[in-house]
Chain A
Amino acid sequence: MDAALAFERPILEMEHKIQELKALADSTKLNLNGEVVALEARLRKVTGEVYDNLTPWERVRVSRHPQRPVTQDYINGIFEDFLELHGDRSFGDDRAIVTGFATIEARRILLVGHRKGKSVKDRLLCNFGCAHPEGYRKALEKMRLAEKLGLPIVCLVDTQGAYPGIGAEERGQARAIALNIREMFSLRVPIIAIVIGEGGSGGALGIGVGDRVAILKNAYYSVITPEGCAAILWKSADKAPEAAAALRLSAPDLFELGIVDEIIDEPLGGAHRRPQETIQNVKDFLLRSLDELQARPTEALLEARYQKFRAMGRVDES
């Protein structure tokens, strides 16, 4: 129950009750189907109510849920084949970003994704998805390879931000991110970016420039984490819920602001409740987007990619 979020308590209690009822029915051979069906209907209603009324901060909590599907789950669930390529050709293999060739419905793509890890050991190895410069350089190396081979690029974004450390600074964290952003405007193949969990600032954008940028319903994309923002502007990390609301970092707000092109639906009760359904939704989106983007002439694709970002943000010139 470690993973429990306070606002999920009524849902978890009912789920537990249904489990008990089913177990009771099994052990006693009593027919409790009617009761179970009624409870399940109520569970759906309660879950819907809770999830329709999530605050921005609660959505951030959902986006970080330990059972939420991460890049590895999408790799396993979407692609028939995945061939990882590790090398950044200059310093080392950053586990926080995974790159490789992948096959989706017999179509070849290049996959780039933040890797948060599943087990505790894995998470530590991946720095919880906070990449170093070598991770961004690996991504750029492989994206250029994809361009050469004419393969579309799929980026799965899930990071709180690029790693803030001594080595990262020494090896040019800022430059690595900046270069990726600039070069992604030049790549002559379709790029699809999906924020699957956390879209944390420059660390996210470093693999986030795309012809299509989508976000899962409970994921977020922000200039800074709510905790970081609260610490600076409210002088207290406890004000993260206020900061999350002020930053307008939730999917519907981002869509309204023109930051993302599309919101990918999550199952009732969040991605962590039905990972397979979530992964299928992402797969459907990917196939549809690949069809659309691969049909476009390259020049038109690049021009539209630039114009999309060029138009972000209004100014007053009166």
Chain B
Amino acid sequence: MAMGWSRFGKKKDMPGGLWIKCDACSTMIFRKDFTAERICPECKHHFPLSADERVQLFADEGSFEELWANMKTVDALGFKDRVSYAEKIENTRQKTGKNEAMVCGRARVLGQDLALGVMDFGFLGGSMGVVVGEKVTRLVEFANEEDLPLVIFCSSGGARMHEGALSLMQMAKTCGALQRFQARGGFYVSVLTNPTTGGVTASFASVADVILAEPGALIGFAGPRVIKETLKQDLPKGFQRAEFLLEKGQVDRIVSRTELRTTIAKLCAYATGSANPATVGAAHEVAGGATGGEGS
């Protein structure tokens, strides 16, 4: 369920340098060619985004109003492995400037209002502890009260081991809230980004009405290393990648980062009837690409 996060999301680009090396195809990318979407122009590899970068890229400019930003972890177990959890959390806060692995709020995308949640893999591997569970739950309740579509960008190694069974129960809490929201007609889109595994995949990420995935994203229940060790055999090429999941019927669409705004605004238009889906985003995307510019 839970897994390590150190293998993902290491930034290999050199700050201030002119060239960035692609994690996937090793092409040297000229910094000027590397847009805010952070996609390799050569192989279309989608680089990791922090939650803030994601919000900036996805929401209409100036539309995002963050909620519950101060929410912090309580170390209920007094957990300690080789270092104490309290210390680990404090260091991560200092390093990332974030309080937790999830950012939530109200946003507008191409003029469509929605409740937006974005997980941050850079914060302890996007692991779900009580704060992430509580934020997701409140966001679902917020979407319910405000009658908004709900969109969550997932990126997580799984449940946070340092919070023990309390982390595990966040799977139940979030799904319980979603059950109520969806039973009352609420519309929920989850976007699975690289990587989404463990307790997040096995809870709120997988019970959305529409499930989207970014190209190449690793998505699964068990991590590939665990499966490999259990089976003592090599895994098929492309196993647990977004394209594999699409083929197996587990996701609805693979959507490039450049198309996400339009696709999601369109989905919301279909769900709510708030706009004509046929015309959603057309003017905007032609005008200059989704770089967080003007909506509607």
A172 within 8 A of B: yes
List residues of chain A with CB within 8 A of the CB of B169: 205, 259, 309, 312-313
Query: Within the complex, what minimum Cβ distance (angstroms) separates A251 from chain B?
Result: 11
A288 within 8 A of B: no
Whether B239 contacts A223 by the Cβ 8 Å rule is: no
A189 within 8 A of B: no
A174 within 8 A of B: yes
B221 within 8 A of A: yes
List residues of chain B with CB within 8 A of the CB of A173: 202, 220-222
- The A-contacting residues of B in range 151-209, CB under 8 angstroms, are 159-161, 163-173, 175-180, 183, 198-199, 201-207
- Assess A246 versus B81: contact at CB under 8 Å? Given A164-B222, A175-B250: yes
Whether B73 contacts A202 by the Cβ 8 Å rule is: no
Contact of B201 among A171, A174, A224 (CB under 8 A): A174
B282 within 8 A of A: no
- The B-contacting residues of A in range 254-285, CB under 8 angstroms, are 254, 257, 259
CA distance A224 to B1 in the complex (A): 6
CA distance A165 to B228 in the complex (A): 8
Interface size class of B (residues with CB under 8 A): 35 or more
Max chain A C-beta neighbours (<10 A), residue from B159, B170, B172, B249: B172
- Assess A248 versus B164: contact at CB under 8 Å? Given A164-B226, A310-B177: yes
Whether B239 contacts A169 by the Cβ 8 Å rule is: yes
B248 within 8 A of A: yes
Chain B 237-268, CB within 8 Å of chain A: the 1/0 string?
Answer: 00110000000111000000000000000000
A182 within 8 A of B: yes
Query: Within the complex, what minimum Cβ distance (angstroms) separates B197 from chain A?
Result: 8
A112 within 8 A of B: no
List residues of chain B with CB within 8 A of the CB of A51: none
A30 within 8 A of B: no
Whether B82 contacts A233 by the Cβ 8 Å rule is: yes
Whether B74 contacts A316 by the Cβ 8 Å rule is: yes
List residues of chain B with CB within 8 A of the CB of A254: 165
List residues of chain A with CB within 8 A of the CB of B239: 166, 169
CA distance A257 to B235 in the complex (A): 39
CA distance A208 to B203 in the complex (A): 13
Whether A313 contacts B170 by the Cβ 8 Å rule is: yes
Interface size class of A (residues with CB under 8 A): 35 or more
A306 within 8 A of B: yes
Whether B164 contacts A222 by the Cβ 8 Å rule is: yes
Whether B161 contacts A317 by the Cβ 8 Å rule is: no
CA distance A222 to B137 in the complex (A): 21
List residues of chain A with CB within 8 A of the CB of B170: 312-313
List residues of chain A with CB within 8 A of the CB of B203: 177-178, 181, 202
Chain B 71-111, CB within 8 Å of chain A: the 1/0 string?
Answer: 11110110111100000000000000000000000000000
Interface residues of B (CB under 8 A from A): 1-4, 68, 70-74, 76-77, 79-82, 129-131, 133-134, 137, 159-161, 163-173, 175-180, 183, 198-199, 201-207, 220-222, 226-227, 230-231, 235-236, 239-240, 248-250
Interface residues of A (CB under 8 A from B): 161-162, 164-166, 168-175, 177-179, 181-183, 185-186, 199, 201-202, 205-206, 208-209, 221-224, 228-229, 232-234, 242-243, 246-249, 254, 257, 259, 305-306, 309-310, 312-318
Can you list 29 A-B contacts with CB-CB less than 8 angstroms, sorted by A residue number? A161-B1, A165-B222, A166-B227, A166-B235, A166-B236, A174-B201, A174-B202, A175-B250, A177-B221, A181-B202, A185-B172, A185-B180, A201-B159, A202-B203, A205-B171, A223-B2, A223-B159, A223-B167, A232-B2, A257-B77, A310-B177, A313-B129, A313-B130, A313-B163, A315-B73, A315-B131, A316-B73, A317-B71, A317-B72
